[in-house]
Each structure stands twice: as C-alpha cells, then as structure tokens.
C-alpha cells in the first residue's frame, strides 16, 4: 500500500510540475489581457546599457546582452490584444527623429525573447517599453490597448 501511495504522490507531482510551464507558454489569442515584462519586471525595470565615457542628454548606446522581454496573460490589465493574436514590444523613442525602433513579436505567453544588442537607448535616465498588438506607428483596428513598462537605463560601462 505504501508503494502504491508513493507512486501516486510522485505521479501527481510530475503532472503538476510539468503542466505549469506548458500553461505559461500558451498561444496569444484575441480578446485577452496581458502585461509586458522587461527583464522579468512589469514595472520599474532596469535596462543595462553599454556607453562608457561621459553621459550627456541625448547620448545613446547599445543595450547590454542577456536582457529579455516577454508577455504574460492576466485576468485583467490595461494591456488588451483586441482582435489580434500577437503582441509587439519596443523601446519608445525619445524623439520622433529617431526612426522606427527595433520590435520583438510575441505569439506565445511565457516565452522570453532576447533584446537585440543593436538596440540603441539612452545612456541614462528613464524611458518606457510599449507592448502592443499593433506595430509601431501602424494604422490598426479598433479595440486593442497597449501596456507600458517604465524602465530605468543604467550604463554598466561607466
């Protein structure tokens, strides 16, 4: 009887532990609420930048390697997919003359993607990352709501 009970308990643990990650990596669908994560944080995230030298207003540098963005489904939030089955993420440019920022496209919840090290951001100060079902400055269908993550840029080469 003890052997049977041990087997049942072990089986339940394997099923529960195995199901958690599978549920976290569910496909993004229409009419879902979400939050964006930058380096695992949904607010006040730290983003490391490699600038070196003096930091002055308007100076930018590349994002340090090993940083990620991801999307998590929630029951209610300010982020809403509307009619879409994907979410884009990008650093909101400090000025309109900066051009279109590099974007990441998410089709699955709980699947972090690396921030490209070619992405240029301010060497210091604060900013934000936009998570949206609509691409940067693209005309889009009605009903989606973006989610913003406030970030703090920290120069690790200073």
pLDDT(17) > 50: no
Give the C-alpha distances (Å, rounded to integers) separating 74 from 19, 36, 71, 81, 129.
18, 10, 10, 12, 18
pLDDT of residue 3: 40
pLDDT of residue 24: 63
- Average pLDDT for the chain: 85
Tens-digit pLDDT profile for residues 28-84: 999 999 999 999 999 999 999 999 887 777 889 999 999 999 999 999 988 999 999
pLDDT of residue 58: 83
Q: What is the enclosing helix (H) or strand (E) of 61? A: strand 60-62
β-pairing verdict for 68-74 and 79-80? unpaired
**Residue % of the chain over a pLDDT of 70:** 83
pLDDT of residue 22: 44
Over residues 18-27, the mean pLDDT reads: 60
SS3 readout for 94-142: CCHHHCCCCCEEECECCCCEECCCCCEEECCEEEEEEEECCCCCCCCCC
Which DSSP state fits 93? Answer: P
Domain 27-155, CATH class in plain words:
mainly beta
- Ramachandran assignment for 12, one of left (phi > 0), alpha (psi -120 to 50 degrees), beta (any other): alpha
pTM score of the predicted model = 0.82
């Amino acid at each position: 009887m003890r052997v049977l009970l041990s087997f049942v308990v072990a089986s339940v643990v394997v099923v529960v532990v195995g199901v958690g990650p599978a549920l976290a990596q569910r496909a993004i669908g229409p009419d879902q609420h979400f939050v964006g994560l930058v380096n695992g944080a949904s607010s006040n995230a730290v983003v490391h930048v490699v600038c070196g030298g003096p930091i002055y207003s308007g100076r930018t540098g590349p994002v340090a390697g090993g940083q990620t963005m991801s999307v998590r489904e929630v029951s209610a939030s300010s982020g809403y997919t509307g009619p879409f089955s994907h979410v884009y993420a990008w650093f909101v440019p400090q000025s309109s003359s900066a051009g279109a920022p590099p974007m990441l496209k998410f089709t699955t919840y709980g699947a972090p993607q690396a921030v490209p090290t070619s992405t240029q951001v301010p060497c210091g100060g604060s900013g934000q990352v936009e998570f949206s079902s609509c691409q940067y400055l693209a005309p889009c269908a009605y009903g989606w709501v973006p989610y913003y993550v406030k970030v703090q840029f920290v120069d690790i080469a200073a």
